[in-house]
Amino acid sequence: MRLLVTCALIACFTFSLGQSDAESWARYRVWAETPEEVQRIADSDLGVYSEHVGTVTDLIVKHSELGKLRALGLRYAFISVLSDPRNWADRYVWTQNYRTGYLRYDQIIAQCEVWRLANPKFLSRTRIGTSVQNRPIWMYKVSGPTRSMGGSDNRKQVVVIGGMHAREWISPPVTMYMLENLLARARVLAPIRELLGEYAVYFVPVLNPDGYEFTWTNNRYWRKNRRNNGDGTRGVDLNRNFSKGWGGSGSSGNTGSDTYRGPSAFSEPETVAIRDAVQAMPNVKGFLDMHSYSQLVLYPWGYTESPPPDRQALHDVGEVMREGILSRHGKNYVNGQCSIVLYLASGISVDWAYDRNRAFAYTLELRDTGQYGFELPPSQIIPNQEEMYEGFERYLLELRFR
């Protein structure tokens, strides 16, 4: 009996040890004064909390990583304690509704499948690739029936990508709502139905399913895909892995960095999936890449501060989107050139899409402006969906005149 009690006590003790090994995580701010110092932060393998690395950057620092923070040799300050990023799955009650809570990858695809099976004439899907860890990457197509009898489908294409960066959880539900509501409105509104006679709109709800699932199971602040880099680090930043400007500033060659560009352009199956799907489209007119956070409408270039050839047109269409967003809930997003409004970033999707197709290509940074950052409360999902849909529909209508 005594033995039993002792065993039970030991078991309890080890169990509680297992539970309490939680390391403390914190948000630290670092200040850089020169481009070299900014690059030093970008190359560090400390997680980046801010939406960008710049003169003022917030980092995610585990207690055991304080040495690395000091080793940067920059001025820094403690900002706040972060919630333990492990096992978010335990903290969320599984929700069945993509408008009131965040869903796992399988649930997201299951929801899209419900829509597809209910609208077989207007919604179809293709498996455009397979992630590093073998998850399927799906692209959904919304379009009306072809008009020309037996003739070729001469519709133009618009592509919308969600879930490229794992921790930006608001991106998939907003992308899904753009799909669902476009479909719903096409059924009842003639102008939207006509639009879908001229355009096929393609949606990828989650481009980076491995990273996304990893944010649920292991690390809520994960950004990249889950490539094994072969040196103990994991992940390539998919939004540094496209070919236009690949390898330039605002990307890192350090495998541990959150902006690691990969060994070569299109080294990742996730970026290849988009490349091949888009290359197969004859006339890509629009391209939207949904990210968070900061509330921005960003057009190319990201890799250089020089203006793109169609700067004025890109700016004007961006204004149409900005005003649409504003009209819904009064959120005034900032519209401007990526590299100027935000920072230089090389190898990004929109630079590639613009360079290749002269598409009206935008990176959208959704809510919020930093109060909750990536951990946007579920109560903000619906308003963010509504305002983004409004911007999106006006964008689609505007494209017809361009």
Contacted entry of ligand 0X9, Zn ion, none for residue 160, CB cut-off 5 to 8 Å set by kind: none
Residue of the chain from 86, 136, 198, 343 that contacts ligand 0X9 (CB under 6 A)? 343
338 binds, among Zn ion, ligand 0X9, none (CB under 5 to 8 A by kind): ligand 0X9
Q: How far is the CB of 335 from ligand 0X9 (least distance, A)?
A: 13
CB of 224: closest distance to Zn ion in angstroms? 10
Task: Check: CB of residue 204 under 8 Å from CB of residue 179.
Answer: no
Name the residue nearer to ligand 0X9 (CB basis): 32 or 192.
32
Q: Does 345 bind ligand 0X9 (CB under 6 A)?
A: yes
Q: Could you give the string, one character per residue 303-342, with x where binding to ligand 0X9 holds by CB under 6 A and - elsewhere?
A: -----------------------------------xx--x
Per-residue DSSP letters for 320-343?
HHHHHHHHHH----EEEEHHHHT-
In the complex, least distance from residue 292 CB atom to ligand 0X9, rounded to whole angstroms: 6
Helix axes 269-279 and 349-357, enclosed angle (nearest 10): 20
**Helix residue ranges, H only, 264-380:** 269-279, 311-329, 338-341, 349-357
Q: Taking the chain, what is the end-to-end CA distance rounded to the nearest angstrom?
A: 83
Of 160, 166, 156, 155, give the one whose Cα is nearest residue 179: 160
Q: Are 333 and 322 in contact (CB under 8 A)?
A: yes
Is position 295 an interface residue for ligand 0X9 (rule: CB under 6 A)? Answer: no
Q: Which does 302 bind (CB under 5 to 8 A by kind): Zn ion, ligand 0X9, none?
A: ligand 0X9
Identify what 298 binds: Zn ion, ligand 0X9, none; CB under 5 to 8 Å per kind. ligand 0X9
Active site amino acids: 365
Q: Which helix (H) or strand (E) holds 130?
A: strand 123-130
Q: Which residues of 288-318 are buried (b: 16+ CB within 10 A; e: fewer)?
A: bbbbbbbbbbbbbbbbbeebbebeeebbebb
CB 329 within 8 A of CB 338: no
Would you report the helix, strand and coil content of the chain in percent, each value rounded to 5?
Answer: 40, 20, 40
Give Dmax over CA atoms of the chain in angstroms: 86
Pairing of strands 56-62, 296-299: unpaired
# chain residues binding Zn ion, by CB under 5 A: 3
Binding partner of 65, given Zn ion, ligand 0X9, none, CB within 5-8 angstroms per partner class:
none
Instruction: Quote the CA–CA distance of 187 and 190 in Å, as a whole number.
Output: 8
Kindly tell me which of 183 and 238 has the beta carbon lying closer to ligand 0X9: 238
Contact 187, 375 (CB under 8 A): no
Given 30, 42, 49, 51, the residue binding ligand 0X9 (CB under 6 A): 51
Q: What is the DSSP letter of 260?
A: B
Q: Which is nearer to Zn ion, 168 or 351 (CB)?
A: 168
Binding mask 351-380 for ligand 0X9 (x = CB under 6 A): ------------x-x---------------
Q: Which is nearer to Zn ion, 143 or 241 (CB)?
A: 241
The footprint of Zn ion on residues 62-101 (CB under 5 A) is: none
Contact 214, 224 (CB under 8 A): no
From candidates 27, 116, 135, 165, binder to Zn ion by CB under 5 A: 165
165 binds ligand 0X9 (CB under 6 A): yes
The residue count of the chain comes to 402
Cβ at position 169, least distance to ligand 0X9 in Å: 12
| Residue in the structure block whose two tokens are 């997680």 | 47
> Binding residue for Zn ion (CB under 5 A) from 224, 226, 291, 394?
291
For residues 248 and 301, the answer to whether their CB atoms sit within 8 Å is: no
Could you say which of Zn ion, ligand 0X9, none residue 343 binds, taking C-beta under 5 to 8 angstroms by partner kind? ligand 0X9
Residue 291 as a binder of ligand 0X9 (CB under 6 A): the answer is: yes
Interface mask toward ligand 0X9 for 202-231; x: CB under 6 A: ------------------------------
Binding site for ligand 0X9 (CB under 6 A): 51-52, 165, 168, 239, 291, 298, 302, 338-339, 342-343, 345, 348, 363, 365
